[in-house]
Amino acid sequence: MHVTPDTPPRPKRRYARRLPVEQRREHLLDAALRVIARDGYESVSIEAIAQEAGVTRPVVYSAYDGLEPLLHALLDRTQRRALASALRLMPQPGGDQDVAEWALEAYAALLDIVRKEPDVWRPVLGLTRNAPAVVRDRIDATRDLIRGYLADAFQEGLERRHASAHDSKEVDVDLLAHLTLVTAEEFARLTLEDPDRYDKDRLLATIETLLSSFTDR
């Protein structure tokens, strides 16, 4: 008669598919993103990512030096994807389009982009709660960057107007940039959370009204 051990010697893990480091890195970033999307930032750990990726922790450590570097890399990737398209919305240096017109088009384009790639934008827009310090700092820095571009764009656009017509309304460009960005984020969030209720036309109509206060008359 033989003894059955109370914990049968676990059937030994099956070997995961072998990947060169670079591919493994991508693989891990994808896994991390899935974890974040599913369970939120508070549940992200080397352990969780390894498990999601179907791999053991040492594998993760061989690709990244720890959780922070990994998240950092994930942010880099996201930034390349999201920031790039955001900046593309900025007015062309040589363009002579009217500011209000440009702003409206930029909003429209943004909403399109966001709805097309929700997985890229959701974490950016803070829908994924509890981002750790690294993440928040990065997002904040990016936000500042964009706001700077926005302020410049408004400044230039309004000056050009000034030159042609001579309506000398004083506008606080800095605050305008703040408001524009905050509004854009809120609207993007609304589009993501409830696309049916907050459709593009509805959002844009309100934006138009809003813009008029700064640029009309």
Q: In the complex, which residues of this chain contact a second copy (CB under 8 A)?
A: 40-42, 129-133, 136, 171-172, 175-176, 178-179, 182-183, 186, 190, 198, 202-203, 205-206, 209-214, 216
CA 46, chain centre distance (Å):
22
For residue 131, give the amino acid letter. Answer: A
Select 50 or 184, whichever has its Cβ closest to DNA. Answer: 50
Select 26 or 172, whichever has its Cβ closest to a second copy. Answer: 172
Q: Please identify, among the stretches 58-66, 135-143, 146-154, 195-203, the one whose residues bind DNA according to the rule CB under 7 A.
A: 58-66
61 interacts with, out of DNA, a second copy, none, CB within 5 to 8 A per kind: DNA
Burial of 179 (0-12, 13-18, 19+ CB in 10 A): middle
Q: Please identify, among the stretches 17-25, 103-111, 125-133, 194-202, the one whose residues bind DNA according to the rule CB under 7 A.
A: 17-25
Q: Please identify, among the stretches 19-27, 98-106, 161-169, 192-200, the one whose residues bind DNA according to the rule CB under 7 A.
A: 19-27
19 interacts with, out of DNA, a second copy, none, CB within 5 to 8 A per kind: DNA
Contacts 24+ apart (CB under 8 A), 96-105: 96/160, 98/157, 98/161, 99/153, 99/154, 99/157, 99/158, 99/160, 99/161, 99/215, 100/211, 100/212, 100/214, 100/215, 100/216, 102/153, 102/157, 103/180, 103/207, 103/211, 104/204, 104/207, 104/208, 104/211
Which residues form the interface with DNA (CB under 7 A)?
10, 12-21, 24, 43, 45-48, 55-59, 61-62, 66-67
